[in-house]
């Protein structure tokens, strides 16, 4: 019986988070109230407080839960023992499929992480960096010349940009599902990456490709 109660409690918490993520994604974290979350979840405000002390607790759990899932996904794919090319393709297809089922949580991660307290923000951004590093390393194994040229991180960020913009225009009811689009994105990335090169920078510019003192922020995943 205790296990049943615990399971029901966890299921309700998950349902609340889904409603909160949708509201945060559409109204913004600041623009969403506990009353609105309670109403969306079909609960009284008092009942909602039984599961979450405030909306900040929900924000932390949504952002950290989503990025932890992405990090685990990268680890799972890289542990499959695929060829370097198949590993990169599998990573692309898996992450698009994951995003398709978690678009609200991903928008919260990319847009509302700035509202996190320093310690919570550091954990989430650390996990984001590991996701980026996992992709970058896989690309480097697949295309060693790009690793030698220092281009695996820029290529990774370009890939994430393409994937994230997909969800600003794509509508699953428009003829192509996310599952159908995933290999198309992979094909586009594979057809272009081998021919990418870094043109010499103009002499007057004298600027590095990346600011060596900069750090990755949530915007890096947008």
What is the model's pLDDT at position 49? 95
What are the structure tokens assigned to 169, written together?
């225009």
The pTM of this model reads: 0.81
CA 144-159-124 angle, to 5 degrees, is 100
Cα dihedral across residues 200, 203, 207, 208: positive or negative: positive
Give the separation between CA 48 and CA 120, rounded to whole angstroms: 22
What is the model's pLDDT at position 170? 79
% of the chain surpassing 90 pLDDT: 67
The total of other beta-carbon atoms located within 10 Å of residue 193's CB is 18
What is the model's pLDDT at position 4? 54
Which long-range CB contacts under 8 A does 183-189 form with residues at least 24 apart? 183/89, 183/93, 185/92, 185/96, 186/88, 186/89, 186/92, 186/93, 188/162, 189/88, 189/92, 189/159, 189/162
CA 187-164-218 angle, to 5 degrees, is 130
Q: Cα torsion at 148, 153, 157, 159 (round to 10°)?
A: 40
Give the separation between CA 35 and CA 46, rounded to whole angstroms: 10
pLDDT digits (tens, 9 = 90+) for 131-164: 999 999 999 999 999 999 999 999 999 999 988 8
Residue 30's closest CA among 105, 125, 111?
Answer: 111
Cα dihedral across residues 124, 128, 131, 134: positive or negative: negative
pLDDT digits (tens, 9 = 90+) for 5-32: 567 889 999 999 999 999 999 999 999 9
110 pLDDT higher than 70: yes
What is the model's pLDDT at position 23? 97
Hey, what domains does the chain have and what are their CATH numbers?
Answer: 1-53 (1.10.10.60), 59-196+214-222 (1.10.357.10)
What is the model's pLDDT at position 202? 53
């Amino acid at each position: 019986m205790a296990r049943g109660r615990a399971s029901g409690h966890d299921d309700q918490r998950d349902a609340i988070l889904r409603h909160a993520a949708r509201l945060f994604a559409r109204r913004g974290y600041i623009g969403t109230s506990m009353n609105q979350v309670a109403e969306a979840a079909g609960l009284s405000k008092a009942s909602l407080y039984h599961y979450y002390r405030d909306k900040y607790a929900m924000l932390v759990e949504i952002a950290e839960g989503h990025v932890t899932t992405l990090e685990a996904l990268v680890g799972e794919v890289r542990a499959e023992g695929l060829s370097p090319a198949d590993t990169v393709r599998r990573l692309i297809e898996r992450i698009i499929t994951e995003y398709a089922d978690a678009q609200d949580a991903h928008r919260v991660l990319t847009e509302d992480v700035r509202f996190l307290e320093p310690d919570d923000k550091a954990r989430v951004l650390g996990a984001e960096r590991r996701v980026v590093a996992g992709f970058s390393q896989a690309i480097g194994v697949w295309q060693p010349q790009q690793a030698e040229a220092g281009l695996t991180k820029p290529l990774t960020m370009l890939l994430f940009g393409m994937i994230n913009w997909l969800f600003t225009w794509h509508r699953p009811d428009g003829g192509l599902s996310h599952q159908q689009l995933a290999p198309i994105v992979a094909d586009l990335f594979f057809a272009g990456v081998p021919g990418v090169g870094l043109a010499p920078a103009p002499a007057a510019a004298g600027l590095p490709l990346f600011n060596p003192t900069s750090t990755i922020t949530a915007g890096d995943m947008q």
